[in-house]
Amino acid sequence: MIHEFKKIWKSYTIGLLWLMGIIWPLLGIHADGTLSFGKAFTLWLYIAAGSFVCLLLYIMNKSGNLAPVTRPLSAMRGKATAAAGVMPVWVWILAALIASAIFPVFTSRYAQDVAISVLIYICLGLGLNVVVGLAGMLDLGYIAFYGVGAYTYALLNVNYGVSFWLSLPVAGGLAMIAGCIIGYPTLRMRGDYLAIVTLGFGEIVRLILNNWMSLTNGPNGILGVNPPSIAVPTFNGGFGIEILALKKLQYLYYIALFLAVITIIAVRHLNYSRIGRAWESIREDETAAELMGVDTFLLKLLAYAMGAFSPGWPVPFSAPACALSARKALPSWNQPWY
Amino acid sequence: MAVQPILELKEIHASYGSIKALKGISLRVYPGEIVAIIGANGAGKSSTLMATCCVLPIDRGEIWYNGQPIHGKAAESLPPTGLCQVPEGRRIFPRLTVDENLRLGAFHRKDKAAVEKDRQHMFSLFPILRDRRKQHGGTLSGGEQQMLAIARALMTRPKLLLLDEPSLGLAPLIVQQIFDIIHDINQKDGTTILLVEQNANLALQAASRGYVLETGTITLEDDAKKLLGNPEIRKAYLGE
């Protein structure tokens, strides 16, 4: 035990002193210029005491004094993971689906709003994985496609009244075309150079959207985007069909969930297909892939297009989601630029 | 010879920037032979193969394959015609499994049943690959990687196989094994082989004809047996 303590006491002491050096300026220097020590010192003492207990536990564990407690615990954990491993995968998938399906019933608007963002970002991440993960092209302007998808729906809906469902494939398709337009000239680059060029393209799209006042209304965004609607059969006074606008946030949540699930399935299939393998071969060794008969240029362009489709298509939807939840216009560019 | 050569290079010139790598290479490969190109480091051996596969663009000259000019074509259009290369240093796909590597060799082929048959054939040719088929390519040993690279190229059903330094960095025993396999591929499947090697002794023993390459030009062309007996060659390349 002494041996273990000897190994660690120096770095522990230095760490605590360093912490003191950070805590005091934060708590001890006041806005009016006065200095105090009491508050910072008390907090520091609490932290020091707590960390010392942790340190003791750590040392005891290292030197084996805690074995009577840890051994049965780790045995239990081993059993639990073994039991979890026995369950087939579809059980987990089903459990996750059910959990996400009943999620809006028990949660607040705020939680649903966050969940919608999460689902949209799932689609974005999966699309990014096609370009960066599979084909190995570092694309830093990827989020531009998200912008293309979002503005496609917003503009089509506000100016021409195109419905949500029709703009879904249109937005995805336009994002794909944008992907090809950006991809075609940039695919001659490899590695770092590609990253720089794509970063530039992303910035170009952002600047255009932000400054083309007559089309996009600039940083103010586009107002009055309609939420998606569905046709529901009604039976009052005979059979008829009623158009119902999905204004509630939880309907949007379900649509986002649906799109995310579809994207997951599609990307997974793509991943294990012949094309997915070819993308991976390009990532691993482009020349060797060419020697094996892989058309690298075409497949890289395809990766761009497919990668662009998947953020392009869920996004139309973030428009009404935003408009509903925060009354803010689409899209607010507080989204991180990947 | 009245037979039409399967591959013919006519006065090939190629360069990397301002550095001339190939200065007028001409060679012929006839169906069914094993032809060896030997030479020192930087003589242009690998460049010759890369130019043949249209990866390295040529400045001048013509490349004829199967009676058709192929210079200036896209590199990926050649494997479907039966011209495939095992590149220098193996260059398998390290983060793909052995199985995926093999399937990539058959990337351009649509006949699933035949591909599956070839895959099984590869496993019988290289039993070690069957044991390791779920492993990542990068985790294989050097000899296994070389076998994988050859198997991957064979999955394209080549008529003419270009092999670039199959003995590179391998133990002598493994090298012998690889050369036995090369001999088998040539004899049993009738695949024509163009072999580039630094190990001149081994290459010339396996080959029927040989070319000697020096600083971008062919200096000698003869039957492999005669080259092996040539005192100049013995002195320059066989260490005598």
Strands B160-164 and B83-86: what pairing? parallel
List all residues 6 or more positions away from B103 whose beta carbon is below 8 Å from its beta carbon: A274, A277, B115, B119, B155
* Chain A closest-CA separation from residue B231 CA (Å): 37
Q: Do A104 and A128 have their domain in common?
A: yes
Strands A229-234 and B209-214: what pairing? unpaired
CB A309 within 8 A of CB A263: no
User: Torsions phi, psi of A307, nearest 5?
Assistant: -65, -35
Q: Do A191 and A318 have their domain in common?
A: yes
Virtual CA dihedral for B121, B125, B131, B133, nearest 10 degrees? -50
* Chain B closest-CA separation from residue A263 CA (Å): 24
| Chain A residues within an 8 Å CB radius of B73 | none
**Where do we find the tokens 């303590």?**
A5
Residue B228 lies in a domain: yes
Q: Taking CB atoms and an 8 Å limit, are B108 and A289 in contact across chains? A: no
Residue B69 lies in a domain: yes
Q: Taking CB atoms and an 8 Å limit, are B87 and A291 in contact across chains? A: yes
* Chain A closest-CA separation from residue B81 CA (Å): 10
Residues forming beta bridges with residue A330, ordered by sequence position: A222
Q: Do A151 and A277 have their domain in common?
A: yes
Residue-level pLDDT at B221? 92
Residue-level pLDDT at A318? 56
* Interface mutation target, options A280, A291, A296, A301, chain B, most CBs of B under 10 Å: A291
CA closest to B100 among chain A residues: A277
Give dist(CA A44, CA B52) in Å, integer: 72
Report the candidate in A302, A299, A313 with the shortest Cα–Cα distance to residue A175.
Answer: A313
Structurally, chain A folds into a number of domains equal to: 2
Q: Do A97 and A77 have their domain in common?
A: no
- pLDDT exceeds 90 at position B34: yes
Residue B113 lies in a domain: no
Residue-level pLDDT at B240? 67
Residue B196 lies in a domain: yes
Residue B149 lies in a domain: no
* Chain A closest-CA separation from residue B115 CA (Å): 13
Give dist(CA A243, CA A232) in Å, integer: 6
Residue-level pLDDT at A322? 47
Strand blocks (E) in B119-216: 160-164, 192-197, 209-214
Q: Do A193 and A220 have their domain in common?
A: yes
Q: Taking CB atoms and an 8 Å limit, are A291 and B104 in contact across chains? A: no
Using a CB–CB cutoff of 8 Å, tell me whether B93 touches chain A.
Answer: yes
Q: Taking CB atoms and an 8 Å limit, are B75 and A284 in contact across chains? A: no
For the segment B67-84, the average pLDDT, to the nearest whole number, is: 92
Residue B175 lies in a domain: yes
User: What is the percentage of chain B residues whose pLDDT exceeds 70?
Assistant: 99
How many C-beta atoms surround the C-beta of residue A191 within 10 A? 10
* Interface mutation target, options A284, A292, A294, A298, chain B, most CBs of B under 10 Å: A292
What CATH number has the domain bearing residue B165?
3.40.50.300
When pLDDT is cut at 50, 70 and 90, the band that residue B223 belongs to is: very high
Question: What single-letter amino acid sits at B76?
Answer: E
Q: pLDDT higher for B164 or A173?
A: B164
- pLDDT exceeds 60 at position B153: yes
Q: Do A60 and A134 have their domain in common?
A: no
Q: Taking CB atoms and an 8 Å limit, are A274 and B107 in contact across chains? A: yes
| Chain B residues within an 8 Å CB radius of A291 | 53, 55, 75, 79, 84-85, 87, 91
CB B92 within 8 A of CB B149: yes
CB B195 within 8 A of CB B182: yes
B125-142 confidence digits (pLDDT tens): 999 999 999 999 999 999
* Interface mutation target, options B76, B139, B154, chain A, most CBs of A under 10 Å: B76
* Chain B closest-CA separation from residue A297 CA (Å): 10
CB B183 within 8 A of CB B191: no
CA closest to A274 among chain B residues: B107
Chains A and B form CB pairs within 8 A to the count of 66
Residue-level pLDDT at A312? 66
| Chain B residues within an 8 Å CB radius of A289 | 93, 104
Residue A332 lies in a domain: no
List all residues 6 or more positions away from A239 whose beta carbon is below 8 Å from its beta carbon: A233
- pLDDT exceeds 60 at position B222: yes
Q: Taking CB atoms and an 8 Å limit, are A293 and B80 in contact across chains? A: yes
Residue B29 lies in a domain: yes
List all residues 6 or more positions away from A105 whose beta carbon is below 8 Å from its beta carbon: none
Residue B124 lies in a domain: no
Using a CB–CB cutoff of 8 Å, tell me whether A277 touches chain B.
Answer: yes
For the segment B2-17, the average pLDDT, to the nearest whole number, is: 91
Using a CB–CB cutoff of 8 Å, tell me whether A288 touches chain B.
Answer: yes
Q: Do A146 and A126 have their domain in common?
A: yes
Using a CB–CB cutoff of 8 Å, tell me whether B168 touches chain A.
Answer: no
Using a CB–CB cutoff of 8 Å, tell me whether A274 touches chain B.
Answer: yes
DSSP calls for B188-204: HH--EEEEEES-HHHHH
Residue A44 belongs to domain spanning:
2-86
CB B48 within 8 A of CB B22: yes
Give dist(CA B166, CA B77) in Å, integer: 24
Tell which of A86, A118, A142 closes a domain. A86
Residue from the list A292, A295, A296 with its beta carbon closest to the beta carbon of B105: A292
**Where do we find the tokens 């564990």?**
A61
Residue B73 belongs to domain spanning:
7-92+156-237
ipTM value for the complex: 0.89
List all residues 6 or more positions away from A97 whose beta carbon is below 8 Å from its beta carbon: A261
Residues in chain A, overall count: 338
Tens digit of pLDDT at every position of chain A (338 positions): 788 888 888 999 999 999 999 998 888 888 888 888 888 899 999 999 999 999 998 888 888 778 788 888 888 888 888 887 788 888 889 999 999 999 988 888 888 888 888 888 888 888 888 889 999 888 888 878 877 887 888 888 888 888 878 888 888 888 888 888 888 888 888 788 888 888 888 888 888 888 888 887 777 777 777 777 777 777 766 677 667 666 677 787 888 888 889 889 988 998 889 999 999 999 999 999 999 999 999 999 999 888 888 776 665 555 544 444 333 333 433 333 33
Using a CB–CB cutoff of 8 Å, tell me whether B154 touches chain A.
Answer: no
Residues forming beta bridges with residue A230, ordered by sequence position: A244
Q: Do A283 and A259 have their domain in common?
A: yes
* End-to-end Cα distance, chain B: 34
Give dist(CA B137, CA B150) in Å, integer: 13
Residue-level pLDDT at A334? 37
A192-239 confidence digits (pLDDT tens): 888 888 888 888 888 888 888 888 777 777 777 777 777 777 776 667
Q: Distance between alpha carbon B87 and the CA centroid of its chain, in Å? A: 7
Tell which of A86, A108, A133 closes a domain. A86
Q: Taking CB atoms and an 8 Å limit, are A293 and B95 in contact across chains? A: no
Tell which of A86, A118, A136 closes a domain. A86
Using a CB–CB cutoff of 8 Å, tell me whether B138 touches chain A.
Answer: no
Report the candidate in A151, A168, A313, A155 with the shortest Cα–Cα distance to residue A229.
Answer: A168
Residue-level pLDDT at B116? 94
| Chain B residues within an 8 Å CB radius of A293 | 76-80, 84, 107-108, 156
A226's enclosing H/E stretch is none
| Chain B residues within an 8 Å CB radius of A284 | 93-96
Residue A46 lies in a domain: yes
Give dist(CA B7, CA B51) in Å, integer: 12
Residue A335 lies in a domain: no
Q: Do A57 and A177 have their domain in common?
A: no
Q: Do A244 and A132 have their domain in common?
A: yes
Using a CB–CB cutoff of 8 Å, tell me whether A280 touches chain B.
Answer: yes
Structurally, chain B folds into a number of domains equal to: 1
Residue A337 lies in a domain: no
